[in-house]
Each structure stands twice: as structure tokens, then as C-alpha cells.
């Protein structure tokens, strides 16, 4: 079955960490398309004081969270997301990244106990087949039924997830990541879905991949990912418009004048020109003498 969603049916979840420019870009696009939806913005250990201001500007709830990406925390990063959602639940939770591009509204959402998005059947780097699919990050949707099952199982807070080799890191790509000390949000979700019998469903309203360029599709997809370069470039352009509202030449001249003033350099006073002696012009008046 399919469901046509309204703004108050979805909670959007955005985790941020040292990506201010991308977050501004993402939230601006999200609010353009979903002006009234609930948005949770959670910092994963980044205490930049600008985050609460950005959240307020975009009518999002901000939560300053601890850094939970380390393998020692297992699935607690996902559990935090589910717990925050459950404080005021909606029918759906959608996790997006700061370089996810929001193009238009979702025309429908799946029903039942499901996690949905773009399914990955082969790992990106190692091209290793997956017996159970992974919902690629950038857009991961959860139905309320799936979240209820995940939370009640306590699977994501289990200490056995610290043993990544025998749990979620069952492919070389994710194992290498775990050996560097970082969990995989996507593959932890995949592990929970597989263990609990939650359906991972292909969702044709979105297109997300790990890396590479997602081409323009003339509105075929509501959300696409990744767009790190576009997010950074757009944010810089917006910043330039805010900081430099006057012509560039005037800004440069102002900067030079300020620098000279701070350095104690005054503008040179022009020397007076020497007076130029001019020869008297011959008279052109007619004489009245006969």
C-alpha cells in the first residue's frame, strides 16, 4: 500500500558534524519544499556555537549530542535518533545527510514494517555482493512500525555490536572502516533489519549512492545524494552575497583603505603643481587712429 504524506507525517533527521555550509544548504532546500515538517538536527560531538542559531533560523529542534561514531558505541548513534524521534513520533522518520538535495515533495510513502530508500546489492568500493540489501545513506526512511520494533528489541544498544566482525561488518568495505574506529550507520541499520525481520524496500522516489555524480533527472526523484560540491559551492555563493552586497571594486578599495589605516599608512598628499608662466597674448583690438 502507498500513502500520500503531509508535512506533519514526517520527521526529518539531520546529523551534523563540522559541515556548517552543507547543513545550511540542505536545510534551506528542505524548508523550501517542506516548510512545516518536523526537523531534528543533532550534533554528533561538534559543539560549534553556530548550530543552535542555524536550527532556530530553519525552525528545527537542535540537540547537542556526544560523539557516537566510534566502534566502541556500537549502534547507540542510531538508538539516539530513534529515541529522539519517539519523544513526539510521526508516521515516518527520514534520515538525510547534509549533502542530500531536496528537489520536490515525496508523492507517496510505503506502509508496513519497513526501512526504505535506494537499495545497495553490491558494495561500492569492493563490489562485493550483499545477500541482504543495504539501504544507502543520504536518504533512509523508517516507518513507525519498524522503529517501534527496533527500539523495543534493544538490539542497537547491545554490547555485542562492539564485536563488529561477527555482527554488522560482514563485508570488506565496512570491516576496513571499523578497523579505523568508525561504525557504519547504514550497515548497522541493515544488521538490525536482517536480525529483526524488517523489510528493506526499494523506493523509487529517491536516488542515493555512496559516491559519484547523480545526474539531473527533471524531477524524477524527490531527493538525491551525494552533492558535496554543490552544497559547498551554493553555501559559499550565498555567503558571498551576504558579506559583499556592494560592488567588488568598492569592497577592494575599502579593504585597502582599512589595511593602510591599521598599518599607519596615510594616503600620500599630492604635491602642488608649480605655477606655469604664460606669455601675454597679442592684442586683437583695432586702433581708432587714422
In which band, very low, low, confident or very high, does the pLDDT at 258 lie, cut at 50, 70 and 90?
low
Predicted confidence at residue 212, as pLDDT, reads 83
Q: pLDDT by residue (tens digit) across 186-240? A: 999 999 999 999 999 999 999 999 988 887 678 899 999 999 888 776 554 544 4
> Quick one: what percent of the chain has pLDDT higher than 90?
72
Predicted confidence at residue 262, as pLDDT, reads 54
At residue 103, does pLDDT exceed 70?
yes
What pTM was computed for the model? Answer: 0.80
Predicted confidence at residue 290, as pLDDT, reads 35
At residue 167, does pLDDT exceed 50?
yes
Q: pLDDT by residue (tens digit) across 22-62? A: 999 999 999 999 999 999 999 999 999 999 999 999 999 99
Say how far residue 276 (Cα) sits from the centre of its chain: 69
Better-predicted residue by pLDDT, 264 or 89: 89
| 2-242 topology per CATH | Spore Coat Polysaccharide Biosynthesis Protein SpsA; Chain A (3.90.550)
Domain borders along the chain are 2-242
Q: pLDDT by residue (tens digit) across 121-161? A: 999 888 999 999 999 999 999 999 999 999 999 999 999 99
Average per-residue pLDDT for the chain: 87
Q: pLDDT by residue (tens digit) across 104-117? A: 999 999 999 999 99
Predicted confidence at residue 244, as pLDDT, reads 43
Amino acid at each position: 500500500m502507498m500513502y500520500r504524506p503531509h508535512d506533519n507525517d514526517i520527521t526529518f533527521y539531520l546529523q551534523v558534524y563540522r559541515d556548517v555550509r552543507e547543513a545550511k544548504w540542505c536545510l534551506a532546500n528542505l524548508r523550501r519544499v517542506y516548510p512545516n515538517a518536523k526537523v531534528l538536527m543533532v550534533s554528533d560531538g561538534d559543539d560549534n556555537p553556530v548550530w543552535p542559531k542555524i536550527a532556530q533560523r530553519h525552525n528545527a529542534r537542535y540537540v547537542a549530542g556526544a560523539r557516537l561514531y566510534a566502534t566502541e558505541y556500537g549502534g547507540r548513534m542510531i538508538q539516539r535518533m530513534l529515541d529522539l524521534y519517539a519523544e513526539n513520533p510521526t508516521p515516518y522518520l527520514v534520515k538525510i545527510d547534509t549533502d542530500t538535495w531536496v528537489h520536490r515533495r515525496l508523492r507517496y510513502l510505503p506502509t508496513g514494517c519497513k526501512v526504505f530508500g535506494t537499495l545497495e546489492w553490491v558494495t561500492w568500493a569492493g563490489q562485493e555482493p550483499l545477500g541482504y540489501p543495504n539501504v544507502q545513506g543520504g536518504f533512509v526512511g523508517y516507518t513507525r512500525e519498524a522503529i517501534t520494533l527496533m527500539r523495543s528489541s534493544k538490539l542497537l544498544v547491545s554490547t555485542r555490536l562492539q564485536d563488529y566482525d561477527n555482527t554488522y561488518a560482514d563485508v570488506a568495505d565496512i570491516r576496513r572502516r571499523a578497523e579505523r574506529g568508525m561504525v557504519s550507520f547504514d550497515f548497522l541499520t541493515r544488521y538490525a533489519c536482517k536480525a529483526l525481520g524488517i523489510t528493506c524496500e526499494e523506493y523509487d522516489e529517491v536516488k542515493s549512492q555512496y559516491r559519484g555524480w547523480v545526474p539531473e533527472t527533471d524531477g524524477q526523484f524527490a531527493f538525491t545524494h551525494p552533492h558535496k560540491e554543490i552544497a559547498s559551492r551554493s553555501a559559499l555563493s550565498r555567503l558571498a552575497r551576504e558579506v559583499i552586497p556592494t560592488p567588488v571594486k568598492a569592497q577592494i578599495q575599502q579593504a585597502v583603505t582599512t589595511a593602510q589605516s591599521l598599518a599607519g599608512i596615510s594616503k600620500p598628499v599630492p604635491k602642488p603643481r608649480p605655477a606655469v608662466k604664460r606669455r601675454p597674448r597679442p592684442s586683437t583690438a583695432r586702433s581708432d587712429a587714422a
